């Protein structure tokens, strides 16, 4: 079992008026950066890096970063920079990028070079992951949405070739053209860092990941549709002539642990307060559907069952269609407390270790993932909220989850030799601090 | 009492894909190229023109019933295919009318194949980067809001489209926007390589602009007029960007006189 930590690194600025009492609209791509405070930004970037170092000390196997643009809910615009810093200031945990937004790169050779450097500086701790991006990324970096999927695939092919094929060589593709591909850097890992593919609902992407045998990570989707998506991956794998295993299944979900149930609810409610991610679950922001659903960005009639989740549907610009379908199925129910609603369906798990661990077990039993990421310290959570949780993760939750994973035989991508699909011995333990760290390589 | 439908539907098989078009009338040929949001079908404007012209209204390649050339990356590609349409239909002395984005394609076509044209009529045409102001970016607006911007006011929009656009219209707008994005996501709705080629254009050109056009700045009318040797501007009082819908009589008269 590979256990990772994730936060979106929200830009928390109550003074801006977007999140505080003044009630300015939290509108996606509708907020001016005139109110951006770089001094606050400096504090936040450093805070989030410090928390990652502590997460490693507490025994997490991976530190996951993500990337969004022109939006306050994620400060990771250039996550490769954060990754490069973590490569130097951490020593054991994998640095998991989920992911670089391939279609917005006009020069993916730069990306191949950057990632190779990160892999070398970290001495082989990079896990690379690639995504197609949301509408806001296509708008922010002005990548033509109808060619998003073409560019994703070509950039992927190009980067893998740039990493693995001795140069110099030429590349004359549809979207990328190079007369001299010969980067003076190569990934530390042979043949290259593992590639994991995160996503929410593109059926194309699941099938593509399965064809490449890349682990697919569902990002905070509800349990049943997530399971169905994994099953779709399994079907494609079978068609491709191999049996998918737990090492191909990853799941990111919101888990916060705290010292008391009262503190856990107080902190847990902050997931849905402040600049939390407006296109996943439980946000207070206003999403503009026509931006998320840019022309040609995703193929129509090509949706995964996650469409059933209202938040995901609304974020992708199909709220109306979803509502119509929902009306057919059941009469509308009165609005619920968002936090309570999400805790009931385990979209948010927050509590003391005693209440959290059984819920995590339920998730593991239901989905059988070999990789999980706890999404914590987000929304309006403070540094103190995050540090309390990380301590309890290290002392209680991570050890318990490792036991469960052994019992349930949930193996992560680093416990399987991908060359011949057989299990390998656990990696050599590396010197860490704290009891939890010594268990990380189990 | 509804008038009998008298236009015909035609189809032409080109190597680049099938082209669908509507046709009615006889006389000097007029070809009308639609807006970026697609051809809504046979219009009163076409009827009025068909009284004394042979009127041909194609769905441009990738729009409506015409097959998408998946390789096309530029409005110029669509202009090239449209010249093939003129050749295959053996049309000469054509009055080529381009509406909005269709005007952009018409101007590109005129630079490469002027010999089949008698007159170029650009109506609220995109294609040039306005020296002041900007062309309204439909990609940052909902379909509804963008089309509403195309009319002189919200009331006129509602009168034409209704409170809620019907499903088939929504679908037309949605698929049309995708094709528009394929060709002119960036730069949006202009080509810096167009203006230099207009200087030697020897086709008489009429530039028509709705007085209340909120989509393409009037500045562009002046720029087309300055770039094309034999060009003049007509402003249609009270009209927005969709002159052909709001002032069909007036526009048909201007085309007829051209």
Contact call for B139 and A146, based on CB within 8 A: no
Q: What angle do CA B170, B212, B62 make, to 5 degrees?
A: 35
Which of A136, A151, A295, A324 to mutate: most B Cβ within 10 Å? A295
Are B186 and A295 a contacting pair at CB < 8 A? no
pTM, entire model: 0.90
- Whether residue A420 has pLDDT greater than 80: no
CA-based Rg of chain A, rounded to a whole angstrom? 21
Alpha-carbon gap: A72 to the closest alpha carbon of chain B (Å): 19
What pLDDT does A307 receive? 34
Does residue A11 carry a pLDDT above 50? Answer: yes
CB contact under 8 A, B178 and A146: yes
Which of B178, B180, B189 should we substitute to test contact with A (largest number of A Cβ atoms within 10 Å)?
B178
Q: Inform me whether the pLDDT recorded for A309 exceeds 70.
A: no
pLDDT band, residue A393 (cuts 50/70/90): very high
Q: List all residues 6 or more positions away from A37 whose beta carbon is below 8 Å from its beta carbon.
A: A13, A15, A16
A170 CB-near residues (< 8 Å, 6+ apart): A178, A179, A180, A181
Q: Which positions in chain B touch A142 (Cβ < 8 Å)?
A: 185-186
Nearest chain B residue to A292 by CA distance is: B140
**Complex-level ipTM:** 0.93
Structural domain harbouring B235: 8-257
- DSSP state at residue B210: E
What is the share, in percent, of chain B residues with pLDDT greater than 90? 91
DSSP 8-state code for residue A92: S
Q: How far apart are CA B87 and CA B76, in angstroms?
A: 17
First to last CA, chain B: 33
Most A-contacting residue of B137, B140, B145 (CB-CB within 10 A), to test interface: B140
pLDDT classification of A282: cutoffs 50, 70, 90 = low
Angle between helices A383-392 and A38-57 (to 10 degrees): 10
Q: Please return the burial class of A167, using the count of CB atoms within 10 Å of its CB with bins 0-12, 13-18 and 19+.
A: middle
pLDDT at A418 over 60: no
Q: Which residue of B has its CA nearest to A300?
A: B175
Beta carbons of B143 and A145 less than 8 Å apart? no
**Domains held by chain B: number:** 1
CATH number at residue B174: 3.40.50.1820
Q: Cα angle at B64 between B240 and B124, to 5 degrees? A: 20
Mean pLDDT over A420-435 rounds to 44
Q: Which of A139-148, A307-316, A409-418, B159-168 has the highest mean pLDDT?
A: A139-148
A146/B contact by beta carbon, under 8 A: yes
Taking the CB of residue B73, how many other CB atoms lie within 10 A of it? 15
Give the model's pLDDT for residue A236. Answer: 97
B91 token code pair:
């049309």
* B2 domain-assigned: no
In angstroms, the CA A230 to CA A89 distance is 35
Average pLDDT over residues A243-260: 97
| Binary contact (B181, A291; C-beta < 8 A) | no
pLDDT at A233 over 90: yes
Asked if the Cβ–Cβ distance from B182 to A289 is below 8 Å, we say no
Any idea what DSSP says for residue A395?
A: I
Question: Which pLDDT value is given to residue A425?
Answer: 46
pLDDT exceeds 60 at position A442: no
Question: B228 to each of A276, B132, B191, B225, how far by Cα in Å?
Answer: 53, 19, 15, 6
pLDDT for residue B90 is more than 80:
yes
CA dihedral B126, B129, B135, B137 (to 10 degrees): 100
**Rounded to whole angstroms, how far apart are CA atoms A162 and A184?**
10
pLDDT score of A319 more than 80: no
Is the N-terminal amide bond of B38 cis, ω within 30° of 0?
no
Nearest to A144 among B141, B177, B186 (CB): B186
Share of chain A above pLDDT 70, in %: 81
pLDDT of residue A92: 98
Place of tokens 């642990």: A257
Considering the domain boundaries, does residue B45 fall inside one? yes
Contact between B139 and A295 using a beta-carbon 8 Å cutoff: yes
Lowest mean pLDDT of A6-15, A103-112, A318-327, B86-95, name the range.
Answer: A318-327
Please tell me which of A190-204, A224-238, A410-424 the model is most confident about, judged by mean pLDDT: A224-238
E strands, A258-304, in order: none
Specify if B54 maps to a domain: yes
Is B3 within the bounds of a domain? no
Whether B35 is in a domain gets the answer: yes
Q: What's the Cα-to-Cα distance from A380 to each of A273, A344, B239, rounded to whole Å?
A: 6, 21, 50
More confident residue, A394 or A15: A394
Please give the average per-residue pLDDT across A317-337, as a whole number. Answer: 50
Using a CB–CB cut-off of 8 Å, the residues of B that contact A are 139-143, 174, 177-178, 180-182, 185-186
Has residue A378 got a pLDDT over 60? yes
Compute, in degrees rounded to 10, the torsion defined by CA atoms A264, A269, A274, A278. 120
What gap in Å lies between CA A390 and CA A256, rounded to an integer?
9
> How confident is the model at residue A437, as a pLDDT?
31
Other beta carbons within 10 angstroms of residue A397's beta carbon come to 23
* Model pLDDT, residue A27: 78
Give the Cα separation of A138 and A154 in Å (integer).
17
| Cβ-Cβ contacts under 8 Å for A370 (sequence gap 6 or more) | A1, A2, A215, A245, A246, A247, A248, A249, A250, A410, A411, A412, A413, A415
Residue-level pLDDT at A16? 78
Q: Residue A254: what are its φ and ψ, rounded to 5°?
A: -80, 115
Q: Which two tokens stand for residue A265?
A: 């609810």
Chain B residues closer than 8 Å to A288 by CB: 142
Average pLDDT in the A8-18 region? 85
Under CATH, what is the fold of the domain A2-439? Answer: TIM Barrel (3.20.20)
Token pair recorded at residue B111? 């630079």
* Residue B125 confidence class, pLDDT cut points 50, 70, 90: very high
Whether B1 maps to a domain, the answer reads no
CB–CB contact A144 B177 (8 Å): no
Residue with tokens 């669509």: B78
Q: Is the pLDDT of residue B88 over 70?
A: yes
Q: What is the mean pLDDT of chain A?
A: 86
* pLDDT over 90 (residue A432): no
Query: What does the alpha-carbon distance between residue A301 and residue A233 come to, in Å, rounded to a whole number?
Result: 18
More confident residue, A282 or A361: A361
Indicate if the pLDDT at residue A327 is higher than 70.
no
């Amino acid at each position: 079992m590979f256990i990772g930590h994730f936060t979106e690194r929200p830009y928390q600025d109550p003074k801006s008026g977007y999140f505080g009492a003044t009630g300015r609209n939290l509108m996606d791509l509708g907020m001016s950066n005139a109110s951006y405070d770089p001094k606050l930004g400096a504090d936040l970037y450093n805070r989030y890096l410090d928390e990652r170092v502590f997460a490693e000390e507490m025994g997490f196997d991976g530190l996951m970063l993500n990337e969004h643009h022109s939006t306050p809910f994620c400060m990771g615009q250039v996550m490769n920079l954060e990754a490069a810093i973590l490569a130097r200031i951490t020593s054991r945990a994998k640095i998991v990028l989920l992911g670089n937004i391939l279609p917005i790169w006009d020069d993916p050779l730069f990306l191949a070079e950057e990632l190779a450097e990160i892999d070398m500086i970290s001495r082989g701790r990079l896990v690379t992951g690639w995504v197609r991006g949301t509408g806001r990324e296509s708008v922010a970096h002005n990548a033509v949405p109808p060619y998003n999927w073409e560019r994703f695939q070509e950039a992927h092919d190009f980067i893998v070739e740039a990493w693995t094929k001795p140069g110099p060589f030429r590349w004359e593709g549809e979207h990328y053209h190079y007369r001299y591909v010969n980067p003076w850097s190569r990934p530390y890992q042979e043949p290259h860092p593992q590639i994991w593919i995160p996503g929410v609902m593109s059926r194309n992407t699941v099938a593509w990941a399965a064809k490449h045998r890349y682990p697919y990570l569902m990002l905070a989707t509800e349990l049943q549709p997530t399971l169905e998506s994994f099953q779709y991956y399994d079907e494609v794998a079978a068609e491709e002539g191999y049996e998918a295993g737990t090492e191909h299944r990853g799941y990111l979900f919101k888990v916060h642990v705290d010292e008391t149930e009262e503190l856990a609810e107080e902190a847990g409610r902050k997931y849905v307060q402040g600049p939390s991610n407006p296109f996943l679950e439980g946000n207070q922001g206003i999403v503009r559907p026509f931006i998320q659903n840019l022309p040609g960005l995703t193929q129509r009639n090509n949706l995964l069952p996650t469409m059933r989740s209202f938040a995901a549907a609304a974020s992708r610009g199909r709220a109306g269609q979803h509502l119509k379908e929902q009306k057919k199925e059941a009469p509308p129910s009165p609005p619920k407390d968002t936090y309570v609603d999400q805790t009931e369906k385990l979209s948010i798990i927050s509590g003391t270790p005693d209440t959290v661990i059984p819920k995590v077990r339920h998730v593991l039993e239901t989905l059988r993932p070999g990789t999980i990421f706890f999404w914590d310290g987000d929304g309006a959570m403070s540094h103190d909220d995050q540090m309390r949780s990380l301590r309890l993760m290290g002392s209680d939750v991570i050890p318990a989850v490792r036991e469960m994973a052994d019992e349930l035989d949930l193996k992560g991508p680093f416990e399987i030799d991908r060359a011949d699909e057989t299990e390998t011995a656990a990696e050599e333990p590396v010197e860490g601090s704290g009891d939890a760290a010594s268990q990380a390589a189990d | 009492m509804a008038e009998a439908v008298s236009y015909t539907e035609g189809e032409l098989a080109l190597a680049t894909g099938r082209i669908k078009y509507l046709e009615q009338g006889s006389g000097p040929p007029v070809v009308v190229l639609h807006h970026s949001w697609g051809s809504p079908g046979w219009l009163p404007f076409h009827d009025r023109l068909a009284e004394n012209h042979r009127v041909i209204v194609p769905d441009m390649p990738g729009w409506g019933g015409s097959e998408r050339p998946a390789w096309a990356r530029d409005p110029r590609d669509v202009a090239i295919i449209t010249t093939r349409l003129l050749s295959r239909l053996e049309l000469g002395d054509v009055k080529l009318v381009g509406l909005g984005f269709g005007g952009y394609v018409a101007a590109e076509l005129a630079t490469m194949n002027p010999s089949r044209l008698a007159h170029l009529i650009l109506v609220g045409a995109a294609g040039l980067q306005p020296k002041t102001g900007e062309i309204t970016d439909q990609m940052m607006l909902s379909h509804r809001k963008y089309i509403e911007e195309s009319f002189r006011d919200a009331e006129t929009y509602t009168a034409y489209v209704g409170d809620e656009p019907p499903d088939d219209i929504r679908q037309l707008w949605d698929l049309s926007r995708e094709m528009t994005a394929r060709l002119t996501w960036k730069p949006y709705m202009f080509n810096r390589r167009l203006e230099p080629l207009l200087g030697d254009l020897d086709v008489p050109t009429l530039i028509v602009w709705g007085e209340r056009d909120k989509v393409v700045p009037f500045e562009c009318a002046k720029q087309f007029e300055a770039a094309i040797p034999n060009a003049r501007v007509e402003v249609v009082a009270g009209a927005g960007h969709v002159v052909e819908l709001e002032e069909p009589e007036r526009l048909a008269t201007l085309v007829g006189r051209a």
